[in-house]
Amino acid sequence: MKKHALRPQRPRDPPIVLSEEGGVRYLHFGSEWVQGAMRLRAPDRLPLEYLQRMMAWLLFLEPPRRMLQIGVGAGSLIRYCRRRLPATHLTGVESSPRVLAVAHEHFRVPRADPRVRLILDDGARHVAHPANRGRYGVIAVDAFDAAARGPVLDSRAFYASCRGALGDAGILVVNLFGEHPSLARNRARLRQVFDGRVLELTVDGEANAIALAFSGPPLRVDWRALRARAARVSHDYGLPARDWVATLAAAAPGSAGFSI
């Protein structure tokens, strides 16, 4: 794997390293842990399995008018959604100016696009701002520390602000680390804030656990309808949605459906 570090950096910025292998460019924050990736010949695809699972909200919600990503990283979700969700306006919030510059320079995140707005700010401050209350249909949070061992935004207050920034029917998607002590804490906080309305997509052998927290009217989900929806998502968006339903069903065997 070919690696090179990028300089100069501010003292508070993560130590950014890029690597390339098998036609994929990876973003690292000074460790072997991958913080983002881009397939060089297909930059709009999602090259990492956990990023694909972060789109599992499509099983339950049509593409919203506005979507927020906290933690831009390599911009994979922004590139994908920009192409696949043409009616959705995308906002990305990143706390590091260096990471934002690298996303533009090395990961083809657009600098000027009427549907993409990138903001240099703290993600917790952004969702807590009164102007953003009820603004977003989907909020995706993928903000890890420099060692990629746990989320940096995971307080109960942060999750409450995310719920406040969701519209009447919205979904918060959070990338958690299944091998980190913070997992149990985050599960508990998400369930507290979202009244227990949380689903988790965890795959054996994968370190990332993807949590979906629901805001809005309660849903009664029929497995047959969900499998039909998964077939449509798979066809329309090129995502392994049938696998997501199989993962959810494995946690509730023998049931005709579930409420969320």
The structural domains of the chain, with segments of one domain joined by +, span 44-238
Encode pLDDT of 152-183 as tens digits: 788 999 999 999 999 999 999 999 976 677 88
Amino acid at 33: W
The kind and range of the H/E element at 102 are: helix 97-106
Query: For the domain bounded by 44-238, which CATH number is listed?
Result: 3.40.50.150
Which tens digits make up the pLDDT trace of 68-107? 999 999 999 999 999 999 999 999 999 999 999 999 999 9
Helix (H) or strand (E) holding 232: helix 223-237
Instruction: Report the predicted TM-score, pTM, of the whole model to 2 decimal places.
Output: 0.92
Residue ranges in the chain modelled with pLDDT below 70: 1-14, 145-150, 178-179, 204-206, 253-254
In eight-state DSSP terms, residue 1 is -
